[in-house]
């Protein structure tokens, strides 16, 4: 039911973007949250849990950022793993543009096979199979997040003004948190598909929870730098507390906004009109 | 004596720190130790021991604001001689209200009191009144009167200087009512004093003199915060009219290029809001650095999305994919070149920290910069003759050796000893004149050729670079290499007109701060203000000072002209209109902030210097550099 209602919206969004700009071929549709009851519920609960954790742990981050940010990572990993496995289709499933039907089609054989032997434990068994089947991409994306996304984000943080000669541990921890928020769902949902990553590098992905969350994380971190120069001399103004707080808020907002009705499927287009004119003269 | 401990604990951990009370006991014990030492020696019995805090602290332990905790420091006059006074103060005492004990003494009153107690004349511009409790130290009324009269005459003299039209010596027909001004009251009191003096009524004179002193003091302090509001509003109106007038021409461009236009408008709006916060004014460079990273992301995304179209303009795949990354990297290097502002001013940076220990790197980069300028001068010329090559080489080499000789005399710590010994004693003024005339000859001979071939003034730009390099600090010279790289990346992006304008605006402000500028008067660099100038010449020194402080912005004005050179003429007009709009809006916000915050504690230390800087940005930089740089527009549109 849910999947049926989401596909027309998706297609409409797709057609509207293709009509506005003629050249790029958008072969990769936005990612929809899985249709299951749990997925739809948890996709809303997850941002709430993350934000309350930020509020709950804020004072200890201010007191000892290195220790607190480090000890938060396992919890963040856990929450994000539950979120991506429970709510997002893993990479490769949605190739033909109909994610939900494909996902269920893969699950049904296992369900049927086990249905013969034990009908009571079948729900449990399907659950286990699904978890086991999704755990591999989750673990793979987690590895890539640690090995690739975290160093890349740390470099980007330095490029955007983070201290280069000091605060290395904090920069890396901040990058790790941001990578878990933004890159982990991206890798889980898109794998290492070069074309999609080109779209991400060009910021031209259609809006969805995954891309919205990633973009929101980066924008939030950028805006998070604003209070640092103020002369209030508050301990929370220290690098990178405001930046990471901004990243979390941005992630939550971006994730929710990316799924919102008028936004889902839309793309950022930064092509200045004037440039087509120059080509003429 | 200045004991740092209390202040240090306050800044570290605030007034509630566990170290605060022990430290205060320690300070008390030091005071009693000093006092006992005074008491033990008879020849020290006339010692005056003054204990005075220079500020208090707020709840966080900091100061500089206007809260009661920050503005209520203690003052204590201690001497064995004060036993003679019958003021019997109890200690410890309860606070009357917010941190007020015993009695409040005006800060300005400390000076005349010290002068009176020590038997010294009161300083010329003092605005204080002798603290009357100490008058009893003098036993005869004649002595007390002499002291108060000296104080009154000195204050009245200051008052007459402030209000030259007011004559205090005319006999007053006194009808002082409660609503008459302080000046009239002081005038009346002075007339009454003179009258009583002739009658030798000493007892009453003292009270009248104290009244006179208080009213004069009040008149002076209101004069210090007396603003010519009509002029302030007139200035705001002029800036407002300027921004409104530049709006129609800019609006068309902003509407056509919506995203860069929106970015520009958002930047200017947030800049305007920022001007009302003192710490953002002090750390203005952070805003430009921060906003530019956002702009770099925009440039990256639009170039990347445009890739198929841009590739038609011979830009490589690498530049469209990672050009903005390289731009941000070079920007990050510029950011760290000179630490500026207040909050992070002492942090290590490239110019002061790194180069002072790596002179070899510094001079290699400087030589590379000069070599690059020489290549630019030569390369952009199709019809170059051997004489042109030779004269370019000669001027570049002379300019470099001048800088070397200059560094030897001004900052010898950057020059190796063997170089310093050979170069010491070179007369710098004639040398600088040779460099300047060489650059001028290059410009003039270029101008002649350019009119013939009608090409963009590339080598004029190179000659200008040579001049700007000559006017920059040695440690800043390699920045011009970074600029060249940035210009190359930007040129490959094939920017639209509004994009060039926004980039140019950002680069102008960023480089001003990257060269070490800030919004504090103390950061003006005067080291190159006298290059080739023998004796003080206001106009020449003024121009050289401006060029050496605005070298980066001037370079980018010229560079953005190059970026625009391939584009239609009309777009240059929108460039000028947009820059005018931005400058007028910035001027408007700074003027409004200074007017609204004229009673702010930091009006003289933060907002007024910012106002002066904005004036030179608007009047000198915008009119003389940005608009004069595009003066050819005027002729081309006329023909």
Quick check: is A27 in a domain? Answer: no
Contacts by A4-12 with C-beta closer than 8 Å and gap 24+?
A6/A32, A6/A35, A6/A100, A7/A98, A9/A261, A9/A264, A9/A265, A10/A264, A10/A265, A12/A265
Whether the CB-CB separation of B223 and B162 falls below 8 Å is answered with yes
Phi, psi dihedral angles at B97 (to 5 degrees): -150, -165
Same domain membership, residue B604 and residue B475? yes
CA B114 – CA B52 distance, rounded (Å): 12
Residues of chain B with confidence (pLDDT) below 70: 64-66, 172-180, 224-225, 307-316, 380-384, 446-457, 569, 633-639
- Please compute the mean of the pLDDT values over residues A242-256 and round it to a whole number: 95
Choose one of B57, B78, B104: the last residue of a domain.
Answer: B104
Spatial contact of B380 and B451, defined as CB atoms under 8 Å apart: no
Quick check: helix, strand or coil at residue A203?
A: coil
Question: Which residue in chain A has the smallest CA separation from B331?
Answer: A159
8 Å CB contact between B275 and B307: no
Token pair 């070079």: residue: B330
- Does the beta carbon of B62 lie under 8 angstroms from any beta carbon of chain A? yes
Note whether A270 contacts B302, CB cutoff 8 Å.
yes
Identify whether A101 is part of a domain.
Answer: yes
Per-residue pLDDT at A218: 96
CA B337 to chain centre: 19
CA A204, A209, A210, A214 torsion: positive or negative? positive
pLDDT-derived band at A2, boundaries 50, 70, 90: very low
Tokens of B296: 């770099």
Contacts of A268 in chain B (CB under 8 A): 301
How many C-beta atoms lie closer than 10 Å to residue B89's C-beta? 11
Contacts of A99 (CB under 8 A, 6+ apart): A29, A31, A32, A34, A89, A93
> What is the C-alpha to C-alpha distance for residues B517 and B523, in angstroms, rounded to an integer?
6
Same domain, B372 and B477: yes
Q: How far is B380 from chain A (nearest CA, A)?
A: 25
Q: Which of B196, B226, B256 is the last residue of a domain?
A: B226
Residue A114 has pLDDT above 50, yes or no: no
The answer to whether residue A24 sits within a structural domain is: no
Q: What is the pLDDT of residue A180?
A: 96
Q: What is the C-alpha separation between B305 and A263, in angstroms, rounded?
A: 20
The answer to whether position A13 is within a domain reads no
Angle (CA) B69-B75-B80 rounded to 5° is: 155
pLDDT band at residue A184 using 50, 70 and 90 as cut-offs: very high
The two structure tokens encoding residue B215: 């009213």
DSSP code, position B122: P
Kindly indicate the confidence band of residue A101, based on its pLDDT and cuts at 50, 70 and 90: very low
Residues of chain B found within 8 Å of residue A230, distances taken between Cβ atoms: 277, 279-280
pLDDT bucket at A5, cuts 50 / 70 / 90: very low
Shared domain check, B521 and B472: yes
Domain count, chain A: 1
Residues B440 and B309 in one domain: yes
d(CA A157, CA A247): 12
* Among candidates B259, B329, B496 on the partner chain, residue whose Cβ is nearest the Cβ of A275: B496
A12, part of any domain:
no
Any bridge partners for residue B75, and if so which? B52
List the single residue in A229, A272, A279 with the smallest CB-CB distance to B279: A229
Same domain? For B515 and B392 the reply is yes
Q: What is the CA radius of gyration of chain A?
A: 21
Q: Among B104, B138, B153, where does a domain finish?
A: B104
Pick from A34-38, A103-107, B550-554 the range whose average pLDDT is largest: B550-554
CB contact under 8 A, A278 and B306: no
| A16 is a domain residue | no
Predicted confidence at residue B636, as pLDDT, reads 61
Q: How many angstroms separate the CA atoms of B348 and B335, rounded?
A: 12
Structural domain harbouring A210: 32-268
B577 and B619 belong to one structural domain:
yes
In a domain, A275, yes or no: no
Residue B460 and residue B317 share a domain: yes
Tell me how far apart the alpha carbons of residues A33 and A255 are, in angstroms, rounded to a whole number.
Answer: 11
Q: Does B301 touch chain A (CB under 8 A)?
A: yes
In this prediction, residue A15 carries a pLDDT of: 35
Nearest CA in chain B to A223: B290
Helices (H), B306-358: 307-311, 317-337, 355-357
Nearest residue to B311 (alpha-carbon basis) of B170, B494, B130, B482: B494
- Is B496 in Cβ contact with A271 (below 8 Å)? no
Q: Which residue has the tokens 């590739």?
A: B311
Q: Which domain holds residue B23?
A: 1-104
Say how far apart CA A227 and CA A250 lie, in whole Å. 16
Q: How many domains does chain B have?
A: 3
Report residue B600 as tokens: 């702010």
Interface test with A, best of B290, B336, B354, B567 (most A CBs within 10 A): B290
Task: State the residue for tokens 């071939």.
Answer: B453
pLDDT at residue B639 in the model:
44
Mean residue pLDDT of chain A comes to 80
- Tell if the CB–CB gap between B332 and A279 is shorter than 8 Å: no
Same domain, B81 and B197: no
Q: What is the ipTM of this complex?
A: 0.82
C-alpha distances in Å from residue A96, one per residue of A27, A28, A195: 9, 9, 15
Q: Which residues contact B454 (CB under 8 A, 6 or more apart)?
A: none
Q: Are residues B37 and B181 in the same domain?
A: no
Tokens of B423: 């170069």
At residue B226, the pLDDT reads: 73
Give kind and range of the element (H or E) at residue B52.
Answer: strand B49-52
Write the residue in B279, B290, B325 that is nearest to A161 by C-beta: B290
CB contact under 8 A, A272 and B348: no
Banded model confidence at residue A1, pLDDT cuts 50, 70, 90: very low
Q: How distant is the Cα of B26 from the closest Cα of chain A, in angstroms?
A: 27
The model's confidence at residue A26, banded by pLDDT at 50, 70 and 90, is: low
Q: How far apart are CA B417 and CA B414, in angstroms?
A: 9
Phi, psi of B51 (to 5 degrees): -110, 120
pLDDT digits (tens, 9 = 90+) for B329-339: 999 999 999 99
What residue in A sits closest to B259 (Cα-Cα)?
A: A270
Q: How far apart are CA B303 and CA B320, in angstroms?
A: 6
B75 phi/psi in degrees, rounded to 5: -135, 135
Strands (E), B446-565: none
Is the pTM higher than 0.80? The answer reads no
Among residues 330-369 of chain B, which lie with CB inside 8 Å of chain A?
332, 335-336, 341-343, 348
Name the interface residues of A facing B (CB cutoff 8 Å): 23, 158-161, 164-165, 201-204, 222, 225-226, 228-234, 268-276, 278-279, 281
Cβ-defined contact of B259 to A226 (cutoff 8 Å): no
Task: Say if residue B500 is preceded by a cis peptide, omega within 30 of 0.
Answer: no
Tens-place pLDDT, residues B569-615 = 677 788 889 999 999 999 999 999 999 998 887 888 899 999 999 99
**Chain B partners of A281 at a C-beta cutoff of 8 Å?**
568
Q: Cβ of B518 under 8 Å from any chain A Cβ?
A: no
Q: Which positions 469-508 of B are in contact with A (Cβ < 8 Å)?
A: 494, 496-499
Same domain as B244, residue B137:
no
Same domain for B481 and B407, yes or no, is yes
Mean pLDDT for the stretch of residues A269-278: 56
Residue A135's SS3 state is helix
CB contacts < 8 A, A to B, total: 93
Q: What confidence score (pLDDT) does residue B17 get?
A: 85
Interface test with B, best of A22, A275, A277 (most B CBs within 10 A): A275
- CA of A274 to nearest chain B CA: how many angstroms apart? 6
B486, exposed or middle or buried, with CB in 10 Å at 0-12, 13-18, 19+? buried
Better-predicted residue by pLDDT, B105 or A233? B105
Q: Do both B246 and B200 map to the same domain?
A: no
Q: What pLDDT shows up at residue B384? A: 64
């Amino acid at each position: 039911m849910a999947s049926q209602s989401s596909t027309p919206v998706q297609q409409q969004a797709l057609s509207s973007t293709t009509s506005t700009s003629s050249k790029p071929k958008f072969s990769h549709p936005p990612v929809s949250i899985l249709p299951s009851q749990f997925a739809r519920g948890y996709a809303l609960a997850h941002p709430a849990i993350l934000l309350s954790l930020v509020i709950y742990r804020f004072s200890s981050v201010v007191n000892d950022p290195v220790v607190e940010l480090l000890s938060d990572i396992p919890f963040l990993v856990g929450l994000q793993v539950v979120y991506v496995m429970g709510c997002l289709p893993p990479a490769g499933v949605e190739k033909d543009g109909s994610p939900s039907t494909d996902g269920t089609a893969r699950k049904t054989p296992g369900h049927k096979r086990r249905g013969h032997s034990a009908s009571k434990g079948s729900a449990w068994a399907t659950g286990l199979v699904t978890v086991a089947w999704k755990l591999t991409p989750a673990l793979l994306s987690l590895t890539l997040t640690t090995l690739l996304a975290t160093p890349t984000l740390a470099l980007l943080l330095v490029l955007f003004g983070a201290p280069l000669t000091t605060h290395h541990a904090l920069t890396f921890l901040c990058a790790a948190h941001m990578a878990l928020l933004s890159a982990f769902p991206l890798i889980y949902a898109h794998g290492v598909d070069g074309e999609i990553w080109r779209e991400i590098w060009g910021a031209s992905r259609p809006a969805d929870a995954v891309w919205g969350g990633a973009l929101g994380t980066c924008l939030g971190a950028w805006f998070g730098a604003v209070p640092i120069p103020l002369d209030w001399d508050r301990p929370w103004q220290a690098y990178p507390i405001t930046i990471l707080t901004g990243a979390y808020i941005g992630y939550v907002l971006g994730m929710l906004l990316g799924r919102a009705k008028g936004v889902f499927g839309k793309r950022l287009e930064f092509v200045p009109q004037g440039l087509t004119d120059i080509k003429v003269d | 004596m200045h004991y740092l401990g209390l202040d240090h604990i306050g800044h570290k951990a605030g007034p509630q720190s566990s170290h605060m009370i022990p430290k205060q006991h320690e300070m008390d014990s030091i005071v009693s130790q000093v006092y006992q030492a005074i008491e033990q020696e008879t020849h020290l019995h006339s010692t005056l021991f003054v204990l005075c805090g220079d500020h208090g602290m707020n709840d966080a332990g900091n100061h500089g604001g206007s809260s009661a905790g920050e503005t209520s420091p203690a003052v204590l006059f201690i001497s064995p001689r004060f036993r003679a006074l019958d003021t019997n103060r109890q200690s410890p005492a309860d606070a009357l209200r917010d941190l007020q004990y015993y009695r409040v003494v005006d800060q300005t009153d400390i000076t005349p009191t010290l002068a009176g107690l020590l038997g010294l004349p009161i300083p010329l511009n003092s605005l204080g009144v002798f603290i009357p409790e100490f008058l009893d130290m003098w036993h005869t009324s004649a002595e007390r009167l002499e002291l108060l009269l000296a104080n009154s005459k000195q204050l009245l003299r200051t008052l007459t200087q402030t209000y030259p039209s007011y004559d205090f010596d005319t006999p007053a027909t006194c009808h002082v009512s409660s609503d008459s001004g302080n000046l009239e009251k002081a005038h009346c009191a002075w007339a009454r004093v003179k009258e009583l003096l002739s009658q030798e009524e000493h007892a009453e004179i003292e009270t009248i003199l104290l009244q006179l002193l208080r009213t004069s003091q009040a008149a002076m302090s209101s004069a210090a915060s007396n603003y010519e509001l009509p002029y302030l509003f007139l200035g705001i109106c002029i800036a407002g009219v300027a921004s409104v007038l530049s709006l129609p021409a800019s609006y068309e461009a902003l509407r056509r290029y919506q995203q860069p236009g929106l970015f520009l408008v958002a930047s200017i709006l947030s800049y305007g809001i920022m001007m009302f916060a003192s710490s953002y004014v002090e750390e203005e460079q952070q805003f430009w650095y921060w906003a530019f990273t956002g702009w770099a992301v925009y440039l990256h995304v639009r170039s990347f999305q445009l890739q198929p179209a841009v590739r038609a303009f011979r830009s490589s795949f690498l530049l469209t994919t990672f050009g903005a990354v390289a731009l941000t990297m070079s920007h990050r290097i510029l950011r760290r070149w000179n630490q500026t502002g207040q909050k992070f001013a002492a942090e290590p940076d490239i110019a002061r920290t790194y180069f002072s220990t790596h002179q070899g790197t510094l001079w290699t980069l400087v030589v590379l910069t000069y070599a690059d300028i020489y290549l630019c001068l030569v390369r952009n010329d199709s019809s170059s003759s051997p004489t042109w090559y030779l004269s370019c080489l000669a001027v570049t080499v002379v300019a470099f050796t001048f800088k070397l000789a200059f560094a030897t005399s001004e900052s010898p710590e950057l020059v190796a000893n063997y170089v310093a010994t050979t170069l010491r004693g070179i007369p710098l003024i004639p040398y600088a004149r040779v460099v300047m005339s060489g650059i001028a000859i290059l410009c003039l001979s270029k101008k002649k050729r350019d009119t013939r071939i009608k090409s963009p003034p590339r080598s004029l730009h190179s000659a200008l670079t040579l001049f700007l390099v000559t006017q920059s600090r040695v440690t800043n010279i390699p920045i011009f290499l970074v600029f060249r790289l940035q210009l190359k990346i930007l040129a490959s992006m094939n920017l639209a007109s509004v994009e060039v304008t926004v980039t140019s605006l950002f680069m102008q402000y960023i480089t001003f701060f990257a060269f070490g500028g800030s919004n504090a008067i103390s950061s003006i660099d005067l080291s190159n203000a006298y290059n080739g100038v023998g004796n003080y010449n206001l106009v020449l020194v003024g121009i050289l000072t401006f060029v050496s402080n605005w070298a980066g912005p001037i370079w980018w004005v010229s560079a953005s002209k190059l970026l625009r050179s391939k584009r239609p003429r009309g777009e240059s007009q929108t460039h000028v209109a947009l820059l005018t709009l931005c400058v007028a809006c910035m001027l408007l916000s700074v003027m409004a902030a200074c007017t609204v915050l004229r009673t702010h504690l930091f009006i003289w230390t933060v907002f007024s210097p910012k106002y002066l800087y904005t004036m030179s940005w608007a009047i000198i930089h915008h009119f003389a550099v940005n608009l004069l740089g595009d003066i050819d527009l005027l002729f081309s549109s006329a023909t």
